[in-house]
C-alpha cells in the first residue's frame, strides 16, 4: 500500500467515525478554524493556501509553506486550540491530536488530484451534495473562479 493509499484509508475511517470528539462539527468552532487557516495564509504569510476542508473531526490543508512545517502546525494548532476550547468552555484538555500526516506533492498532476480530493471530501463524507456547498472549505472559492 502506498502512502497515498494509506492516507485515503485513514481518511475514510475518520469520515466514517461517529464517536469521539467532533468539535469541528460545531459551526462556531469550524468558523474559527477556517478563519485561522485563512489568517495564517493571508495576514501572517506562513504559507500559500491552495485548498482546505474543515471536517467534523479533522482538517485537510494543501499549502506551500513559507516556514518549517512543524512551526506552522504548532502555531495554527495552539492558536485554534485556545480559541476553540474557550468557545467550548473547556480547559486543561488537548483539542488537537499531536500527530499529523504530511505528504510532499511531486508534480502538477498530483497537486490537482490532492486539491480535488480535499475539496470533495465533504461530499464523500455525505455532508453536502456538492463540494461548492460546503461552508468550511476552499471549494466555494474554486467553484466560483471556475464559473467566472
Distance from C-alpha of 33 to C-alpha of 36, rounded to nearest angstrom: 5
* Number of domains present in the structure of the chain: 1
Question: The CATH number of the domain where 111 resides is what?
Answer: 3.30.70.1290
Q: Which three cell numbers stand for residue 93?
A: 484538555
Q: What is the pLDDT along the chain (148 residues), one digit of tens a residue?
A: 655 565 555 555 555 555 568 999 999 999 999 999 999 999 999 999 999 999 999 999 999 999 999 999 999 999 999 999 999 999 888 999 888 889 899 999 999 999 999 999 999 999 999 999 999 999 986 655 655 5
Segments forming the whole domain that contains residue 15: 3-147
Q: pTM here?
A: 0.84
Q: Which residues pair with 137 in a beta bridge?
A: 53
Amino acid at each position: 500500500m502506498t502512502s497515498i493509499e494509506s492516507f485515503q484509508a485513514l481518511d475514510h475511517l475518520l469520515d466514517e467515525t461517529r464517536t469521539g470528539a467532533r468539535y469541528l462539527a460545531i459551526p462556531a468552532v469550524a468558523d474559527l478554524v477556517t478563519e485561522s487557516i485563512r489568517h495564517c495564509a493571508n495576514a501572517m504569510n506562513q504559507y500559500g493556501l491552495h485548498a482546505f476542508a474543515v471536517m467534523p473531526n479533522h482538517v485537510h490543508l494543501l499549502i506551500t509553506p513559507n516556514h518549517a512545517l512543524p512551526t506552522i502546525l504548532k502555531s495554527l494548532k495552539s492558536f485554534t486550540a485556545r480559541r476553540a476550547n474557550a468557545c467550548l468552555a473547556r480547559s486543561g484538555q488537548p483539542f488537537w491530536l499531536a500527530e499529523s500526516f504530511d505528504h510532499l506533492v511531486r508534480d502538477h498532476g498530483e497537486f490537482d488530484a490532492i486539491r480535488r480530493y480535499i475539496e470533495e471530501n465533504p461530499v464523500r463524507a455525505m455532508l453536502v451534495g456538492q463540494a461548492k456547498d460546503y461552508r468550511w472549505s476552499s471549494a466555494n472559492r474554486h467553484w466560483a473562479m471556475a464559473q467566472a
